[in-house]
Amino acid sequence: MVKNRPFLGTEVFLLKVAIVGGSLTEIKSRLDADAFTLSLRVIREALRDANLEAKDIDGILTTPPGYFTDPSDMDRFAPQRMGEYLYTNAKAQAMIDMGGMTSLAAVKYGAYEIMQGRCRTVLIYASEKYVSREKWNPQRHTYLIHLVNGIYGPHDRRYGVMRAAVYYAMAAQRYMYEYKVSREEIAHVPVVLRENASMNPKAQYREPITVEDVLNSRPVCPPLNLLDCCPVSEGGAAVILADEKTARNLGKDDCYIVGIGEAHDPTSFFPVYQSVTEIPSLRRATREALRHAGMSLRDIDVAEVYGPFSGTELMVYEEMGFYERGEAAKAVAEGRTKINGDTPINPSGGRLSFGHPPYVTPLAEIYEIVAQLRGEAGKRQVEDAEAGLVHAEHGMMNGNMVMIVKRR
Amino acid sequence: MERFFEELKNRRFVVPRCEECGKHIFPPRVFCPFCGSERLEWGEVSGRGTLYAYTTNKGGLHFREQTVGIVELEEGFRILSLIGRPLEELRIGQPVKLEFIEVETLEGKVTLHKFTPIPSQPQDSV
């Protein structure tokens, strides 16, 4: 039985938050539906999963419509439009933006609405669509160049950086240098994630790969090769939260959010003053979420973490406390993070093989953890999974959010 | 940031330094993030540093393929820059020195900073 605990050190009694429904499209490099259609599809499926109707929804929270979507699809009124389309009388509507952790931040907002008793049910949805090749004309091209390039800040944008891999590669290089980790050892990460993805029918890449495949794949930014990097992905996902009483009435009171942690470092991309191989905010966020849940890392049966590149994935495992610094590569190579290992991480296939539509990713992670806790994960089911962890970050691990979900 | 790039045109690498706590501040700000002081003085830095990390930036805006790296300056901050040597000739911790380069960009011609490894001194026999 999930027990209520004083929240964030206060003695205020708050309502418990259940995850009563979820849905996820398949993840692909291209999906043949626009962002709004994808969103509608996942919303309807999530409502069905939760035994709810649209009119029962008290809160509608979403992300901006895709990171690099066509400017004409950039609807700044997305939640309003959805409220009108679903014909709800909501008590909370918002579009939230905080880089890669956006949809998890939206879930946190929704969870607070439920905890306070303002909303009984909150819908969080996201879809990710990229600008189509046909529409990629020079005028829009310039707009998108500025959008992509601008992510890296007023100084670095002058240097013409167009991909995050440049920075993540240098972080991986430092990690290898500081902890004497070899290129071959890191190559086990994509291999294990692909093995997990091969059991996930919704994953973008499912063909098994070997360490040699990773080492021989096209160099992107040394030391990172193509198979060390997350792909460009499209997809959609939705999650519905409810208070305990509503969840019970729906017959959907099996999974509860029991811990939330969030922390940010004073950095926005590559750190100017701090070490790039340490992520203090991830450690803080993990500790806060565990403290809130009254649990320790050993109580976590399965985790979905946000590692967009192989080297960073290892740093995430270590910073969260699963392994000592410099030890994660060895653990992965030994199979400890596999589904039947002692610390199963990213059974979905992770960002590298499941796919990575940034605004959707945190909701897809929740979807996977709920499937694991409900015992509905099929071939990739982690045995007796009772507690799961979800992680998201923004920038280059500059800020982190951790959520713990527990089976009743 | 505007002033930083303006000064680069004159081949001067300047950043603000806090007159209270002495730290060099990058990216430039109007107050010191470490002690909060507004008493900042812009000044030239040594241009000496070491290579913290490096990689290749393929498909970047101004170059098809260009070595980039993070330089750790003697003044205690890190900065992304162009690196004037191919990857094979570089190593972490290598001393580097400042140069300038004019580049054609979407925003017209700009001067950027660039760092090049200082050739190591021939080892004297003891």
Q: Looking at CA atoms only, how far is residue B73 from chain A in angstroms?
A: 10
- Using CB atoms, pick whichever of A156, A220, A224 lies closest to residue B80: A156
Angle at A11 between CA A5 and CA A16, to 5 degrees: 40
In this predicted structure, the answer to whether residue B125 has a pLDDT above a threshold of 70 is no
More confident: B51 or A70:
B51
Residues of B with CB under 8 A from a CB of A: 1, 4-5, 26-27, 33, 52-63, 66, 68-70, 76-82, 87, 92, 105-106, 110, 112
Find, in chain B, the residue whose alpha carbon is nearest to that of A150.
B61
Mean pLDDT across the stretch A163-177?
97
Half-sphere exposure of A369 (CA within 13 A, CB side): 31
Q: What is the pLDDT of residue A3?
A: 56
**Both structure tokens of A108:** 């946190």
Mean pLDDT across the stretch A351-373?
98
Is the CB of B61 less than 8 angstroms away from the CB of A145? yes
In this predicted structure, the answer to whether residue A138 has a pLDDT above a threshold of 70 is no
pLDDT bucket at A10, cuts 50 / 70 / 90: very low
Mean pLDDT across the stretch A388-398?
97
% of chain B surpassing 70 pLDDT: 95
More confident: A138 or A285:
A285
pLDDT bucket at A11, cuts 50 / 70 / 90: very low
Q: Is the ipTM of this complex over 0.90?
A: yes
Q: pLDDT tens for residues B58-72?
A: 877 888 889 999 999
Question: Which residues of chain A does B86 touch, with a Cβ-Cβ cutoff of 8 Å?
Answer: none
In this predicted structure, the answer to whether residue A5 has a pLDDT above a threshold of 70 is no
- Using CB atoms, pick whichever of A159, A170, A222 lies closest to residue B112: A159
In this predicted structure, the answer to whether residue B2 has a pLDDT above a threshold of 60 is yes
Q: pLDDT tens for residues A225-238?
A: 999 999 999 999 99
% of chain A surpassing 90 pLDDT: 85
Mean pLDDT across the stretch A318-327?
98
Is the CB of A159 less than 8 angstroms away from the CB of B68? yes
**Both structure tokens of A327:** 């030890």
Q: pLDDT tens for residues A74-105?
A: 788 999 999 999 999 999 999 999 999 999 99
For the beta sheet containing A235-243, the strands, ordered from the edge strand earlier in sequence to the opposite edge, are A92-95, A59-62, A121-128, A235-243, A17-24, A255-264, A399-407, A387-394, A302-304
Is the CB of A159 less than 8 angstroms away from the CB of B81? yes
Give me chain A's average pLDDT, please.
93
pLDDT bucket at A7, cuts 50 / 70 / 90: low
- Looking up tokens 């093995």 gives A195
d(CA A92, CA A294): 29
Q: What is the pLDDT of residue A55?
A: 97
Q: pLDDT tens for residues A288-304?
A: 999 999 999 999 999 99
CB A322 within 8 A of CB A297: yes
Mean pLDDT across the stretch A167-186?
98
Other beta carbons within 10 angstroms of residue B28's beta carbon come to 17
Mean pLDDT across the stretch B103-110?
85
**Both structure tokens of B14:** 């300047």
Question: Which residues of chain A does B82 touch, with a Cβ-Cβ cutoff of 8 Å?
Answer: 159
Q: Phi and psi dihedrals of A47, rounded to 5? A: -60, -45
Q: What is the pLDDT of residue B123?
A: 60
This prediction's pTM: 0.95
Chosen from B4, B56, B68, B91 to mutate, greatest number of chain A CBs within 10 A = B68
Is the CB of B33 less than 8 angstroms away from the CB of A221? no
Residues of A with CB under 8 A from a CB of B: 142, 145-146, 149, 153-156, 158-163, 166, 169-171, 173-174, 177, 219-224, 266, 270-273, 276
CA distances (Å), origin A46, targets A73, A77, A168, A356, B52: 24, 22, 35, 20, 47
Q: pLDDT tens for residues A100-132?
A: 999 999 999 999 999 999 999 999 999 999 887
The size of the A-B interface in CB pairs under 8 A is 91
Which are the contacts of B67, defined by CB distance < 8 A and separation ≥ 6? B54, B55, B56, B57, B82, B83, B84, B85, B86, B87, B90
Question: Which residues of chain A does B54 touch, with a Cβ-Cβ cutoff of 8 Å?
Answer: 170, 173
Q: What is the pLDDT of residue B104?
A: 87
CA dihedral A264, A268, A271, A275 (to 10 degrees): 20
